[in-house]
Amino acid sequence: MGGFSNERRNARSKRRSIWSGFSSLDDDAMKSLDDLPKELFEEAHYSDGWVSRHPRFIYFLGLFNTGWATLEITTDFAICKFLKVTPLQAHLITGGMVFGRKARLLADLIGRSDDANKAEILDAFNALRNNNKRDVFSHGYIWSDSSRVKFIERPAGGESTVKIHEFTLQQFEDHVADFAVKLIRFYKALGCTSDEIMAFGDAAFSLDRKSSKPKTNPH
């Protein structure tokens, strides 16, 4: 029992450390694990419920989706940087583009660039692209019981198949934590700041205003 308790404490400490770093991406939007209600981590209170209904599962699924949104805008920012275009031009290029196409474009741009840190940037970005399971979490069915959750994937194209991605609650948290670590690495490798990302995002609204139809004079 003592070893099990130590293992749980070490895992929680690891998650705190990871979250602390991840929160630096956006201090206003992110929240430290230390600030979360303690009942989120009291297993006994939820021991009879489904994993998919556990507050920790719901919280970490939301964390993953928030992290993915951060990856989307950071990827668009990086495309802007490596194409050496203005933010407005970058939004015109990436608006409506699915992530897979953006990822292939960015990887090619990084590889062809003369950036001194391109090897680290590309390695960090490719680590994010591999096995993140974003499509599984967003589009798959969910099955759950009191000990595990399954995401049921039906891949597009080819023969009709079903693939099951199974997690315990701890395994799901670890997957999200691993994604967060990789996202931080990519963010830091780019050398961008939160102010630069925010300014880039704001440019999308400027584009929207420029594309609005001019008001006509009734006279």
Write out the two tokens for 33. Answer: 């694990």
| Residue 15, pLDDT score | 44
Neighbours of 186 (CB within 10 A): 24
DSSP states along 25-94: G-TTT---GGGS-GGGG-GGGGTTS-GGGSHHHHHHHHHHHHHHHHHHHHHHHHHHHHHT--HHHHHHHH
- Judged by DSSP in three states, 149 sits in strand
Mean pLDDT by runs of 10 across the 219 residues of the chain is 42 43 44 57 61 92 94 96 96 94 97 96 95 92 94 82 94 95 95 92 80 46
| Residue 36, pLDDT score | 61
Rounded to whole angstroms, the Cα distance separating 180 from 188 reads 12
Give the domain ranges of the chain: 2-131+172-210
| Residue 156, pLDDT score | 75
Which residues does 21 contact at the CB level (< 8 Å), separation at least 6? Answer: 180, 181, 184
